[in-house]
């Protein structure tokens, strides 16, 4: 069991031991033993074992990796939960050499898992990226770390240098720094930034067509997904499936904050009851709700805390796993006021392209602020719900849809509070809402244009 | 059979390109209404032969070329 802290650019972050796995998840999985940023190639090999990637194209090896990853049941850890091996089909068809992009943008303000991973085990992410590059026939790997995230970038840059000095990097690996922001890490926005320095999402009519940079097809994977993949390439799908459930195999990284002393990143077995994960993280107090997934995620009511932490059960409970964000809202905090703050932040993070997002999100944020302050009559809840339905599905990307989901879940989970607020009796906690944290300097103006 | 295949289209809006001119809602109210901010809400039900010409005209009238016709 290892606990360590890392200095993030937004404060100190604790890296906790794996929890809730009945002792089955060994430290060998993602976060490793060592505390040092930057990792060390020898330590990395000593800990995880050497990963052999063939020197030149090796079809049987490629096929075996493809099969292992499919059989493992690994799904992407960047929020969409797409089966990882399926992402490779669209790029292999192209005549131009594909490019592998590592998405470590982590624009969710309450998520720290990708930076924790890059800080603690950068070589594991690089291993995964090299495996994918070899499988899809790429010559180049580009790692995207947001420009406000210095420690993670320094760590992975050092790891790349180490590989180059040791002469073991099979691919050209570069680290680039796109602008921080909630939407800049959206897959098409990231690719658009790489292609022409505009970090704006694109309308994708046919999602089976690969995104392109300089007319080359691109395969984008989240950083954690690649670290998981690096271990599957070593130990095989059966090993991966030793933890988790049949439908949701493996472990996953979560960032837990709220009713805990410090925000912390943990590795948990999928399917672990949420309540055990919270206890393992030291959440002991009474909760009024739990925010799951991220700021575009959903609230879960306290009576459902025994729900297994896995995509199916979470969806059935009206929540989502998203990027592994778990914010425990202490009893006495106002969930409506916290939701209003998130909605206002998310409105400010719109990429400013689509009317329903540009005008709709501030309107909903304003409605929620009035509800939170207890200023409105009983029809405000109806207006929020009707505006939510109007906005849903009408942006080029899913940014507004995340807000819609969050807001609907807030009105359901905090329905009693909403009734009291609408009747002019706000909860005492509404004025001092401070549980949700927001980055200081990531405004939409910093984007391209 | 051939005719019905040719006319099986639906409208869709590119929200990035659209600037809320609203001509689409005027020319094709059967499929397009406007939200409270003036942006089109599109009903994706395929249009029948009777509406194909009007849909085509609405798409051509959009100054931003934001109203898209999709074959289904
Ligand atoms: S939906 Fe919002 S965030 Fe997404 S592209 Fe449109 S304006 Fe930008
Ligand atoms: S006419 Fe074009 S720009 Fe105007 S509202 Fe319709 S789609 Fe948008």
| Ligand 1 centroid distance, CA of B64 (Å) | 17
Nearest CA to ligand 2 atom 2: B62
- Residue that the structure tokens 């050209």 belong to: A172
What residues in B contact A192, CB-CB < 8 Å? none
| Ligand 1 centroid distance, CA of A397 (Å) | 5
Strand partners, A4: A15
Q: Are strands B32-34 and B40-42 parallel, antiparallel or unpaired?
A: antiparallel
The pLDDT score that the predictor gives to residue A86 is 80
Let me know: does A125 contact A166? Beta carbons within 8 Å. Answer: no
Ligand 2 atom at minimal distance to the Cα of residue B19:
3
From CA B69, how far away is CA A422, in angstroms rounded?
43
What's the token pair of residue A317?
Answer: 């409970």
- Residue that the structure tokens 């926005």 belong to: A189
DSSP string over A122-183? HHHHHHHHHHHHHHHT-SEEEEEE-TT-HHHHHHHHHHHHHHHHHT---SEEEEE-PPPSTT
Which candidate from A200, A203, A355 shows the least CB-CB separation from B37? Answer: A355
- Residue that the structure tokens 């098409």 belong to: A188
pTM of the entire structure? 0.89
Q: Encode A212-237: b = buried (16+ Cβ within 10 Å), e = exposed.
A: bbeebbbbbbbbbbbbbbbbbbbbeb
Let me know: does A322 contact A294? Beta carbons within 8 Å. Answer: yes
What's the token pair of residue B14?
Answer: 């590119």
Task: Give the DSSP letter of residue A67.
Answer: H
Mean pLDDT comparison of A7-11, A255-259, A284-288, highest-scoring range: A255-259
Neighbours of A140 (CB within 10 A): 16
The pLDDT score that the predictor gives to residue A410 is 97
**Which residues in chain A (17-76) have CB-CB distances under 8 A to chain B?**
none
The vertex-A145 CA angle with A142 and A147, nearest 5°, equals 125
Condensed to tens digits (0 to 9), the pLDDT of residues A182-241 reads 989 888 899 999 999 888 888 877 777 788 888 899 999 999 999 999 999 999 999 999
What residues in A contact B68, CB-CB < 8 Å? 205
B15, A360: Cβ pair inside 8 Å?
no
- Residue that the structure tokens 């933890």 belong to: A243
The pLDDT score that the predictor gives to residue A262 is 63
B35, A395: Cβ pair inside 8 Å?
no
The pLDDT score that the predictor gives to residue A33 is 54
Let me know: does A211 contact A217? Beta carbons within 8 Å. Answer: yes
Let me know: does A217 contact A90? Beta carbons within 8 Å. Answer: yes
B14, A396: Cβ pair inside 8 Å?
yes
Position with higher pLDDT, A378 vs A248: A248
The pLDDT score that the predictor gives to residue A36 is 52
User: CB-based contacts of A263: which residues, under 8 Å, 6+ apart?
Assistant: A11, A13, A14, A110, A112, A255, A256, A257
Q: What is the CA radius of gyration of chain A?
A: 21
What phi, psi does A173 have (nearest 5°)? -115, 125
Listed in order, strand segments (DSSP E) in A19-70 are none
The pLDDT score that the predictor gives to residue A83 is 81
Closest C-alpha among A78, A62, A80 to residue A70: A62
Task: Give the DSSP letter of residue A244.
Answer: B
Ligand 2 atom at minimal distance to the Cα of residue B58:
1
Q: Which residues of B touch A (CB under 8 A)?
A: 14-16, 18-20, 35-39, 41, 68, 70
Nearest CA to ligand 2 atom 4: B21
The pLDDT score that the predictor gives to residue A283 is 84
Condensed to tens digits (0 to 9), the pLDDT of residues A17-70 reads 444 333 344 445 887 655 555 568 888 888 888 888 888 888 999 999 999 999
The pLDDT score that the predictor gives to residue A133 is 94
The pLDDT score that the predictor gives to residue A3 is 41
For A239, the 3-state DSSP assignment is helix
DSSP string over B11-69? EEE-TTT-----HHHHH-TTTEEE-TTS-EEE--SPB-HHHHHHHHHHHHH-TT--EEE
Q: Is B58 in the pocket of ligand 2 (CB under 6 A)?
A: no
Domains and CATH numbers, chain B: 9-71 (3.30.70.20)
The pLDDT score that the predictor gives to residue A442 is 41
Strand partners, A142: A101, A174
For A435, the 3-state DSSP assignment is coil
From CA A281, how far away is CA A18, in angstroms rounded?
10
B41, A390: Cβ pair inside 8 Å?
yes
Asked whether the predicted pLDDT for residue A449 surpasses 50, the reply is no
- Residue that the structure tokens 């507004």 belong to: A400
Neighbours of A55 (CB within 10 A): 8
The pLDDT score that the predictor gives to residue A85 is 79
The pLDDT score that the predictor gives to residue A167 is 87
Domains and CATH numbers, chain A: 19-240 (3.40.50.11540), 251-330 (3.10.20.600), 335-448 (1.20.1440.230)
What residues in A contact B21, CB-CB < 8 Å? none
Q: What is the CA radius of gyration of chain B?
A: 12
The pLDDT score that the predictor gives to residue A220 is 93
Ligand 2 atom at minimal distance to the Cα of residue B13:
7
Q: How many CB pairs under 8 A join A and B?
A: 41
Within 6 Å (CB) of ligand 1, which residues are found? A 183, 201, 350-354, 357-358, 395-397, 399-400; B 15
Q: How far is CA A317 from the centre of its chain?
A: 20
Let me know: does A348 contact A340? Beta carbons within 8 Å. Answer: no
For A241, the 3-state DSSP assignment is coil
Compare all CA atoms of chain B with the CA of A396 and give the residue at the minimum distance.
B15
Q: How confident is the model at residue A80 (pLDDT cuts 50, 70, 90)?
A: confident
- The residues of chain B scoring below 70 in pLDDT are 1-7
Q: What is the mean pLDDT of chain A?
A: 86
Q: How far is CA B29 from the centre of its chain?
A: 9
Helix (H) or strand (E) holding A266: strand A264-269
Mean pLDDT of A6-13: 46
Which of A187, A347, A357 is the best mutation target for the ligand 1 pocket, counting ligand atoms within 8 Å of the beta carbon and taking the most? A357
What's the token pair of residue A394?
Answer: 């009408």
Compare all CA atoms of chain B with the CA of A357 and give the residue at the minimum distance.
B15
B37, A356: Cβ pair inside 8 Å?
yes
The pLDDT score that the predictor gives to residue A72 is 92
The pLDDT score that the predictor gives to residue A362 is 96
Give me the sign of the Cα torsion angle A114, A406, A220, A175.
Answer: negative
């Amino acid at each position: 069991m290892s606990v360590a802290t890392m200095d993030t650019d937004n404060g100190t972050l604790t890296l906790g031991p794996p929890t809730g796995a009945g002792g089955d998840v060994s430290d060998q999985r993602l976060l490793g033993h060592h505390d040092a940023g930057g990792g060390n190639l020898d330590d990395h090999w000593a800990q995880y074992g050497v990963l052999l990637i063939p020197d030149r194209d090796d079809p049987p090896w490629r096929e075996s990796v493809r099969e292992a990853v499919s059989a493992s049941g690994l799904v992407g850890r960047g929020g969409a939960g797409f089966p990882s091996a399926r992402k490779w089909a669209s790029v292999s068809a192209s005549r131009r050499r594909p490019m592998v992009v590592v998405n470590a943008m982590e624009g969710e303000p309450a998520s720290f898992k990708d930076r924790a991973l890059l800080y603690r085990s950068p070589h594991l992410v690089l291993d995964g990226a090299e495996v994918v590059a070899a499988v899809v026939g790429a010559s180049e790997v580009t790692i995207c770390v947001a420009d406000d995230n210095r420690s993670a970038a320094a760590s992975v840059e050092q790891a790349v240098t180490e590989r180059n000095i040791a002469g073991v990097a099979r691919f050209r690996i570069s680290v680039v720094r796109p602008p921080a922001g909630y939407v800049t890490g959206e897959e098409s926005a990231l690719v658009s930034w790489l292609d022409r320095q505009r970090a704006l999402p694109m309308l994708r009519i046919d999602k089976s067509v690969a995104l392109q940079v300089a007319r080359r097809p691109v395969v984008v994977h989240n950083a954690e997904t690649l670290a998981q993949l690096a271990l599957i390439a070593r130990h095989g799908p059966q090993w991966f499936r030793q933890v988790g459930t049949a439908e949701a195999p493996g472990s996953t990284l979560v960032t837990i904050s709220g009713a805990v002393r410090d925000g912390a990143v943990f590795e948990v077995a999928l399917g672990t009851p949420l309540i055990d994960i919270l206890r393992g993280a030291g959440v002991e107090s009474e909760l009024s709700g739990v925010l799951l997934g991220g700021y575009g995620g959903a609230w879960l009511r306290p009576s459902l805390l025994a729900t297994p932490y896995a995509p199916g059960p979470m969806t059935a409970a009206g929540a989502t796993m998203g990027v592994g964000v778990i914010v425990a809202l202490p009893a006495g905090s106002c969930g409506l006021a916290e939701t209003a703050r998130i909605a206002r932040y998310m409105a400010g993070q719109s990429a400013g392209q689509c009317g329903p997002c540009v005008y709709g999100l501030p309107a909903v944020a304003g409605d929620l602020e009035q509800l939170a302050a207890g200023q409105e009559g009983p029809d405000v809840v109806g207006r929020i719900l009707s505006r939510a339905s109007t906005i849903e599905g009408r942006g080029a990307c899913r940014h507004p849809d995340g807000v819609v989901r969050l807001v609907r879940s807030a009105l359901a989970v905090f329905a009693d509070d909403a009734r009291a607020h609408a009747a002019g009796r706000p909860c005492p906690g509404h004025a001092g809402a401070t549980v949700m944290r927001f980055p200081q300097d990531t405004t939409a103006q910093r984007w391209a244009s | 059979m051939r005719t019905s295949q040719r006319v099986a289209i639906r409208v869709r809006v590119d929200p990035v390109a659209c600037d809320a001119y609203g001509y689409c809602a005027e020319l094709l109210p059967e499929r397009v209404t406007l939200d409270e901010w003036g942006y089109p809400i599109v009903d994706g039900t395929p249009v029948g032969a009777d509406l194909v010409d009007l849909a085509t005209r609405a798409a051509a009238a959009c100054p931003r070329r934001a109203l898209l016709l999709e074959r289904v």
